[in-house]
Amino acid sequence: MTVGALALTGCGSKIEDSGSATPSRAACGTVNIAVNPWVGYQADAAVIAYLATNELGCKVEKKNLTEEVSWQGFGTGAVDVVLENWGHDDLKKTYIEQQGVAVEYGSTGNKGIIGWYVPPWLAQQYPDITDWNNLNKYADKFKTSESGGKGQLLLGDPSFVTNDEALVKNLELNFKVVYAGSETALIQAFRTAEQQKQWMIGYFYEPQWFLNEVKLVHVNLPPYTAGCDADPKTVACDYAPYDLDKIVSKKFADSGSPAAALVKNFQWTNEHQNAVALDIAVNKLSDDDAAKKWVEANRDVWQAWLKN
Amino acid sequence: MTTLTGTAGAVRRRAGELPRSALVGAVVAVWVLLWIPLHGRATLALSTSELSPLHERLNDLRDAVNNTRGSSPVFSAFFDVIREAVDALTVFLQSLISQPAYGRPVPLIGWLGVVAVATLGAYAAGNLRVAVLTAAGFTSFGLLGFWQESMDTLALTLAAVLICLAIGIPLGIWAGLSDRLNRLLTPVLDFMQTMPTFVYLAPLTLFFLIGPASAVIATLVYSLPPVVRITAHGIRSVAPTSVEAGTSLGATRWQLLRTVRVPLAKRTIVLGVNQTVMCALSMVTIAALIDAPGLGQVVLRALQTLDVGTAFSAGLAIVIMAIVLDRVTTAARDRVETRYRLGPRARGRRRVLLAGLGVGTAVALYLSYTYVWAAYFPGPESGGVVGAQLATGVTDVTDWVQLHLGAVTDAIRNAISYGLLNPLQSLIAESPWYLVSAVVLAVAWIVAGPRIVPTAAVCLALLVGTGLWQEAMVTLSATLVATVIVMALGLVVGVWMGRSDRADGLVRPTLDAAQVMPAFVYLVPFLGLFGASRFTAIVAAVVFAAPVAIKLVADGVRGVPATVVEAATSSGSTAWQVITKVQLPLARQSVTLAANQGLIYVLSMVVVGGLVGAGALGYLVVAGFSQSDLYGKGLAAGVAVVLLGVLLDRTTQAAARRFDAGTRRGKDS
């Protein structure tokens, strides 16, 4: 997918060679940005691509890939930038430490929260449900055809490493983990649960555009302390908050491209990302239009990213 | 005399059959009795995040390959050459019809040119009817607002199909001549078709990098087998008398092939081409996971925001493309025969029309190369002329259905889950592995004969070896339930279609659409209706598998000679009696084939099921694709799916053959 200027106008006109009509201001060249399959990431990529194209004159290639495949691309030169990385210590070990083809490039400013959530109607009607100690009291209500007589804890996206099976066991909860299998399935389940006042508890995360539609409520597990999740067999605490960060290929970092500086300086808040994500997901704007809207309204935020 | 022996055969058959079903019943009864004390023991359960030593070894293997990529000369010599060739072909096709190229802001051929060339091609290969259909179909891509995406999909599909044909037809001809090669190829082709694509998607990008080559090769792996198999079948079924005639005229082996075998098998070979095209199109959405451009991207994106409407209109474009390509290749197949029968006047008319279309196409090509209006499909940039309204309409309808039918669909799900699926699953998945294995071997022996036992035993042993026995058993139970539903639908709708031309004309297009509409499109509404559950996965599998079963049953019923049916009707049989006593028994072969194909198609949806709450093998395959720790486990799960497929396929095929032979012996006596 190429974001580029088209030299086309009006009806009946002839097609002219675009050639090198738009001279780039600096030696920027091509930037390959991996786009991982969730809307928040899409928002990051939209804004960076917009700025790199329109402010720096780069040619941006967006590549729609899952996380692991994107990291593979660092070594082969197919991917220069991963804009929103959730942890992935195993991949960091392989590609940063062992192969030395990628480097960490700082935080995006977004805070990633993972945990168990319930639909808002449930939290309103049974306020004590947000404390894990009370979950067993309601376990019966969470029963479904899938949960084998226990309460159902719905897990979703297969791309996240989760501790939930161990948590259920170690916290002695009368629940069974059921795998929804995709983010789509999970969102639809929460949407139905809120719409039809069904009992439901499941794994979810922020930032996520869906939270702007249905404000899911976080269920508090025993609080996270450093190292409490070290052994996946005995873990009995909430998930660590993630500091979402950027990863770029070694080659790109050394290239001196102005786009590399842009990626390095890129930092914004969850509210910023949600605004762009909402425009893409709910208001159906194209990536480029959503980015343009945000860029025009937040000049002071991104001006700082362009300084070397 | 014939009636007498016929009846005697039928009696003997019935007598031979009764103990067989009774034996199966006895085996199941013993199983249930043993289940009571033994259940929960030796189920070989492994929790989702746990790994067996095999899974860890597979992870290490992947890491080793990953680390040597680039430094090993094998890669640069072998894989890079293939990658560059495939890339070059794909990029060339893209620059013709979909992507800006050669310093132009648009591809070489604009929409007008593509529509004209496609129409001309459809007429040249087929007839006027499919030419009109092609023109309408291609125009609809633009009207839906997906012109460029459709052309990207078309370019990629064409690249994959061209390579498939270049490899598949010669290989198929060879396999048709050599029994040894055929025996060697069959398991390889089985593996290529049943191994879930998710398993090799990530490794493919290791070998062929992220880019068009990987997407094309992923498509190729899945769509190569049909053309090889069907070509081999075509060569094999050339009448021996024709070959003998050629030999007696002194033809060499090569001449025989060129002048007798291939021309006579041409019709079948074109059918293989048709099936390969369909398979390639069904990979559009999955290849999009590794950045294949086109309609698959639209579907995946829409899925992230649960935008059913947009996913549907992109899916519709895929369906239209499939139907156009299917009808054109089918017409081409029929023309292979009718060409010789055309009179001189008809041939002349055809030539004039071809010349006219040729000139028109040349003009269209020039216009679309030169002018903006003929290069860009007119209409608003997003949603096209009708796409946006269609998307909104579909979204409104699904929202309404989900809101108002929730109670009904919950009841259906619970009835099937509690009444059928849960008991079956606890019987199969909670029995000790040796008990299930013994039952499977016993049942296979009874229905398919002793020769199937070694194959079945090997499959079962390998299943234990994957470390995913219990997961495989959960998947097996859902597969069986789905197949029962598929066969129920297959019999009811198939008989209805087989008996009535009107029903056939009414239902067939829906079946075609259900087969090629990417499953990803209807997952969201199904999730809304049935929640994330095994039943949702079963419904998705039924939508995909039922059309095949229905079509096969319908063809079988249609194939029953009309005179036999008339005789039965005139002797006072009711419609029910005609169906159960005449039509279905005589269509037995088609019905057993439908059951076999139904099973295999259901099994090919295991991974999609994993995306909507079926858990088990399907979930593990998906998780293996997206979590590097689970890679080895996902690979093992993929192998387990293949093993289940081989086990079920071989057993049902052997059962059908035995059944058939028994029937024929009964008839002959």
- Claim to verify: residue A130 and residue A232 sit in the same structural domain: yes
CA-based nearest distance A182→chain B, Å? 5
Domain boundary among A241, A270, A291: A241
The verdict on residue A11 lying in a domain is no
Domain boundary among A241, A274, A291: A241
Q: Report the pLDDT value the prediction gives residue B457, as an integer from 0 to 100.
A: 94
The verdict on residue A24 lying in a domain is no
Determine the Cα angle at A18 with ends A16 and A24, to 5°. 155
C-alpha–C-alpha distance, residues B183 and B175, integer Å: 8
For residue A276, the enclosing domain spans 30-110+244-303
Size of interface A-B (CB pairs under 8 A): 202
Test B49 with A189 for CB contact under 8 angstroms. Answer: no
For residue A188, give the CATH number of its domain: 3.40.190.100
The verdict on residue A259 lying in a domain is yes
Test B532 with A185 for CB contact under 8 angstroms. Answer: yes
Mean pLDDT of chain B: 85
CA-based nearest distance A247→chain B, Å? 17
3-state secondary structure B7-50: HHHHHHHHHHHHHHHHHHHHHHHHHHHHHHHHCCCCCCCCCCCC
Q: Report the pLDDT value the prediction gives residue A17, as an integer from 0 to 100.
A: 62
- Claim to verify: residue A156 and residue A228 sit in the same structural domain: yes
**Beta A30-35 vs A81-85: how paired, if at all?**
parallel
Residue A103 pLDDT more than 90?
A: yes
Residue B420 forms contact with A (CB below 8 Å): no
Give the amino acid at A106: G
Distances (CA, A) of B40 to A147, B35, B433, B447: 17, 9, 10, 28
Q: Report the pLDDT value the prediction gives residue B10, as an integer from 0 to 100.
A: 45
DSSP conformation letters of B418-464: IIIIHHHHHHHHSS-HHHHHHHHHHHHHHHH-GGGHHHHHHHHHHHH
Q: How many Cα neighbours within 13 Å face the side chain of B199? A: 27
C-alpha–C-alpha distance, residues B484 and B546, integer Å: 10
Q: Report the pLDDT value the prediction gives residue B109, as an integer from 0 to 100.
A: 87
Which residues have a Cβ under 8 Å from the Cβ of A84 and sit 6 or more positions away?
A36, A40, A41, A44, A108, A110, A244, A246
Which residues of chain B have a pLDDT value below 70?
1-18, 69-71, 75, 336-337, 339-342, 381-383, 662-669
Model pLDDT for residues A238-269, shown as the tens digit of each residue = 888 888 999 999 999 988 888 999 999 999 99
The verdict on residue A65 lying in a domain is yes
Q: Which residue of B has its CA nearest to A176?
A: B47
ipTM (interface predicted TM): 0.86
**Beta A175-179 vs A201-206: how paired, if at all?**
unpaired
The verdict on residue A249 lying in a domain is yes
Domains of chain B in sequence order: 107-144+342-375 (no CATH), 152-334 (1.10.3720.10), 406-431+467-659 (1.10.3720.10)
Residue A166 pLDDT more than 50?
A: yes
Q: Report the pLDDT value the prediction gives residue B205, as an integer from 0 to 100.
A: 84
Substitution target in A150, A182, A190 with the highest count of B β-carbons within 10 Å is A182
- Claim to verify: residue A264 and residue A294 sit in the same structural domain: yes
The verdict on residue A2 lying in a domain is no
Residue A223 forms contact with B (CB below 8 Å): no
Q: Report the pLDDT value the prediction gives residue B339, as an integer from 0 to 100.
A: 67
DSSP conformation letters of B108-157: SS-HHHHHHHHHHHHHHHS-HHHHHHHHHHHHHHHHTT-HHHHHHHHHHH
Substitution target in A84, A93, A184, A288 with the highest count of B β-carbons within 10 Å is A184
Residue B618 forms contact with A (CB below 8 Å): yes
3-state secondary structure B596-661: HHHHHHHHCCHHHHHCCCCCHHHHHHHHHHHCHHHHHHHHHHHHHHHHHHHHHHHHHHHHHHHHHH
Model pLDDT for residues A107-145, shown as the tens digit of each residue = 999 988 889 999 999 999 999 999 988 889 898 899 988
- Claim to verify: residue A212 and residue A105 sit in the same structural domain: no
- The alpha-carbon radius of gyration of chain A (Å, integer) is 22
Q: Report the pLDDT value the prediction gives residue B593, as an integer from 0 to 100.
A: 81
- Claim to verify: residue A149 and residue A227 sit in the same structural domain: yes
Q: Which residue of B has its CA nearest to A282?
A: B305
Model pLDDT for residues B341-363, shown as the tens digit of each residue = 667 777 888 888 889 888 988 88
Residue B434 forms contact with A (CB below 8 Å): no
Residue A133 forms contact with B (CB below 8 Å): no
- Claim to verify: residue A83 and residue A125 sit in the same structural domain: no
The verdict on residue A78 lying in a domain is yes
How far does chain B reach from its first CA to its final CA, in angstroms? Answer: 11
The verdict on residue A268 lying in a domain is yes
Residue A21 forms contact with B (CB below 8 Å): no
Q: Smallest Cβ distance to A158: which of B402, B406, B622?
A: B622
> Is the distance from CB of A195 to CB of A257 less than 8 angstroms?
no
- Claim to verify: residue A148 and residue A232 sit in the same structural domain: yes
Residue A13 forms contact with B (CB below 8 Å): yes
Domain boundary among A193, A225, A241: A241
- Claim to verify: residue A56 and residue A136 sit in the same structural domain: no
Contacts of B628 in chain A (CB under 8 A): 68, 90-91, 94
- Claim to verify: residue A252 and residue A236 sit in the same structural domain: no
C-alpha–C-alpha distance, residues B444 and B452, integer Å: 7
Residue A41 pLDDT more than 70?
A: yes
CA-based nearest distance B625→chain A, Å? 8
Q: Report the pLDDT value the prediction gives residue A25, as an integer from 0 to 100.
A: 47
> Is the distance from CB of A8 to CB of B376 less than 8 angstroms?
yes
Test A37 with B523 for CB contact under 8 angstroms. Answer: no
What percent of chain A has a predicted confidence (pLDDT) above 70? 92
Question: Is-cis flag, bond preceding A207, omega within 30?
Answer: yes
Give the amino acid at B567: A
The phi, psi pair for A59, rounded to 5°, reads -100, 120
C-alpha–C-alpha distance, residues B535 and B421, integer Å: 9
Model pLDDT for residues A55-82, shown as the tens digit of each residue = 888 899 999 888 888 998 898 888 999 9
How many separate domains does chain A show?
A: 2
- Claim to verify: residue A119 and residue A212 sit in the same structural domain: yes
Test B105 with A284 for CB contact under 8 angstroms. Answer: no
Contacts of B531 in chain A (CB under 8 A): 144, 189, 192
Would you say how long chain B is, in residues?
Answer: 669
Q: Report the pLDDT value the prediction gives residue A12, as an integer from 0 to 100.
A: 58
Test B524 with A188 for CB contact under 8 angstroms. Answer: yes
- Claim to verify: residue A231 and residue A134 sit in the same structural domain: yes
- Claim to verify: residue A219 and residue A125 sit in the same structural domain: yes
Q: Smallest Cβ distance to A69: which of B210, B305, B611?
A: B210
Q: Report the pLDDT value the prediction gives residue B174, as an integer from 0 to 100.
A: 92
Q: Report the pLDDT value the prediction gives residue B256, as an integer from 0 to 100.
A: 83
- Partners of B582 in the beta sheet? none
For residue A94, give the CATH number of its domain: 3.40.190.10
Q: Report the pLDDT value the prediction gives residue A18, as an integer from 0 to 100.
A: 55
